Chains A and B, each alone.
Chain A
């Protein structure tokens, strides 16, 4: 009989499986109303006791009622062992309800296991926790996920705007990237990722982003007319790699430019920031004031004291990216980049490799930086093209180091950024280009990592060249 089925079920649970059967547990397991579960338990106890008076059954009851205490009537709800039931009942002035709470084979020392049983079954039924309850609330309708996420986004964005405004207000001494920070904040995608991106943008000065970056992208909004070129050169040399990927939250932002605008340049794929920054550091030390170097080092120190969440997160993200991209980058070697920035810009993700030597002068004259990442498409094709840094004295008397592509085996790629700041038109193009190149960054990073590992020598090589 269907009636008897539940009796057998309970019997099995209690005797065979030695479980603690609480009314809630039974209700969820059998899918019945809580009151029916309580009645089932009671029925089982009665029958079992009738059949076999020596049955090993311990029962706990729930008693509730009112009691006069300290001058006011207090409502008490208690779980009691069977033996104490009568005593408790007699103390209550008004008994509101009594029902079976649980049945178990063994005597319970305290009510801890009851809680655990209830908690466990609840955990597995969290989404419909009031399905078998005696009270249904019409107002408790779960919001649609889109609605809830949009409301949380709104909450975040309002906070972000507030924080970015305050950040912009406090700019002054620290970072000097108020407008770009806010601009980048407003351009955020959504959610926490977006927050990270904006924060990184705002904090380009801190070398927050970590050591394991395989590839970095510098997105520096160039302040075209603002900087004096000479100063700009120094600044740009001083500037490390701040990877600002708006869509992939790969935050490799490094040192910030002191100036307001960040020069947006795609950089050569840098394997490790540590290697990159010393190189950059040394370069900058030639031109920039010692203060800046000091700051860089301070920033590096800051980097170490990073929040773990951020590092973990960024590392994970980077790792994730690496994993995705690595298979792609297997074919390609080290940084192989298109020579001509123009060609680079005009290209779709899989451009034909421009010949290197004739195009070398082109980068020199143009404000450039051909981005490492950007040529991810080409990466796959060109094994022989390597990024090399060429140092020369430009028209203004500043020593400029540029990355040029030469068809060599990739042993000597440096990570110096091209810090020519005159690339006004570059940033918009670069940003546009960046989107399709997102994926390519991965392979770049992969290759860059490999490349860097082999080319440890290049840092000292930098000195000898000077």
Chain B
């Protein structure tokens, strides 16, 4: 681990100055390939409907699900389309889920009830609903849709956990009431994985997300500076600096700017009031440029955009424009990449998002743990099944790029409330390290992934505040 390796060298800094000070060379980039090409959009046209993305999703996932169905329920199980269903006949159906949620915010409902106020005094949808953390409700219903028909599901299927857009295979039979009674269901599970070549030295990749610049929090600024200093080898004793030299890459996973830089004043206020004011994001981007300059002068950096960053809203988010970083783009070590991001670093396949997919599923499912949701998306073999239903997405029609073509070795998502990491195994001996990268502006914690051992260690920073419990700030308190 990073700490142990760092502690191996003798402490030299609490001593008078010595003539020679060690300088360490950063580990060179052995192999790096950026495989985010499916997430780059060229010319975009929004004239298409979103039905095409569901159609292509089903077409692409069907073969995987039929394989899994045969593995689970025997090779003799009949996989039928909904139009071919016979009553009381046990069979397997592959389709896309739709969850009908009464609490799901619907703009049509909001608008229609405002214009024509309902007569009944007990109407509860008069006002636009305040944002909730979860929109699930015991009355939610699941509907399975395939290419031609849809059918309601009932039975042993966890309605609250599943979300719209998941493609799955259900085993059961259709009943007299026209609903499908589910006895069992399965997902596409993990995709095939190529084994990673073994490494001989420890190499680390630092994952950080949610820097939240421009948010006005002074504490997090010191933390950010400490982070940069550790990575660039300024902070720490020789042992730590030597370990830091083994950090071969830094990935900034979104939300580099704080939510408060997205001030909506210019939309709401009158023009004469906002005419001369500068957008809050301008200062924040300047700060970000300086931080990126410090980092890219010392280590290759990949910058992914997030929910609050100045790029497009729909997934896949396109890279930030280099003109925003005049100082940092002078270095070729800076790479501006898409969200989601996929790359092979020193033979280890990384795939990750800035967290919008996981937080959207969190809102519409009963799953509480972000790490659990991350694992679930891997098992469903789709990065963000709720797009385009509740998460903005580009209207793809040829392919759905969010389906996992192959299984990554490290799968991460940013901007989660807390750090989490887990190693999971797949049915074909795939091994994946799942990492939920916490929001740095709130937790001052980043993640160090060791590429050789596929382990992840959180690294957190703190200063000292006015209160006496420094230990509490460090998390060392009782």
Contacts and interface: CB of A to CB of B under 8 A. Distances in A.
B197 to A, nearest CB: 21
Contacts of B475: 67, 69, 74, 76
Interface stretch (B119-127, B160-168, B227-235, B369-377): B227-235
Interface string A45-89: 010000000000000101011110100111111111100100110
B239 interface: yes
A24 interface: yes
A308 B43 CA distance: 28
B4 A72 contact: no
A94 interface: yes
Contacts of A40: 17
Given A115-B225, A122-B290, A75 B458 contact: yes
Question: Max chain A CB contacts within 10 Å: which of B15, B237, B321?
Answer: B237
A130 to B, nearest CB: 5
Given A91-B471, A97-B240, A134-B233, A110 B466 contact: yes
A208 to B, nearest CB: 16
B225 to A, nearest CB: 6
A97 B236 contact: yes
Nearest to B299: A137
Given A77-B230, A98-B14, A66 B4 contact: yes
A84 B43 CA distance: 58
A78 B470 contact: yes
Interface in B411-446: 421, 445
A35 B12 contact: yes
B474 A88 contact: yes
A42 B13 contact: yes
Interface in A146-185: 148, 151-152, 155-156, 162, 165-166
Interface in A90-135: 91-92, 94-100, 108-112, 114-115, 118-119, 122-123, 126, 129-130, 132-135
Contacts of A69: 475
Contacts, number: 270
A133 B234 contact: yes
A140 B237 contact: no
Contacts of B321: 155
Interface in A12-47: 23-24, 27, 33-36, 38-40, 42-43, 46
A84 B299 contact: no
B290 A152 contact: no
Contacts of B107: none
Interface string B459-478: 11111111000110111100
A76 B1 contact: no
A305 interface: yes
Nearest to A96: B6
A397 interface: no
For the residues of A in contact with B, the DSSP-based class is mixed
B332 A139 contact: yes
B366 interface: no
B29 interface: yes
Contacts of B303: none
Contacts of B460: 74-77
Given A24-B229, A115-B222, A42 B15 contact: yes
A130 B297 contact: yes
Interface string A1-16: 0010010000000000
Contacts of B463: 78-79, 110-112, 114-115
A465 interface: no
A118 B28 contact: no
Interface string B63-87: 0000000000000000000000000
B323 A152 contact: yes
B13 A79 contact: no
B474 A78 contact: yes
Interface stretch (B19-27, B51-59, B169-177): B19-27
Given A43-B16, A134-B24, A162-B42, A110 B464 contact: yes
A143 interface: yes
Interface string A403-433: 0000000000000000000000000000000
A316 to B, nearest CB: 15
B448 A75 contact: yes
A205 B371 CA distance: 54
A38 B13 contact: yes
Interface of A: 3, 6, 23-24, 27, 33-36, 38-40, 42-43, 46, 60, 62, 64-67, 69, 72-81, 84, 87-88, 91-92, 94-100, 108-112, 114-115, 118-119, 122-123, 126, 129-130, 132-143, 145, 148, 151-152, 155-156, 162, 165-166, 305, 308
What 4 A-B pairs come out closest when comparing CB atoms?
A: A111-B463, A97-B237, A135-B233, A66-B3
Interface of B: 1-4, 6-7, 11-18, 21-26, 28-29, 42-43, 218-219, 221-222, 225-226, 229-230, 232-241, 243-245, 271, 275-276, 290, 293-294, 296-300, 321-323, 327, 329-333, 421, 445, 448, 457-466, 470-471, 473-476
14 contacts: A35-B22, A64-B236, A73-B1, A74-B475, A79-B464, A96-B3, A96-B6, A97-B6, A97-B11, A98-B237, A109-B466, A134-B234, A135-B298, A139-B332
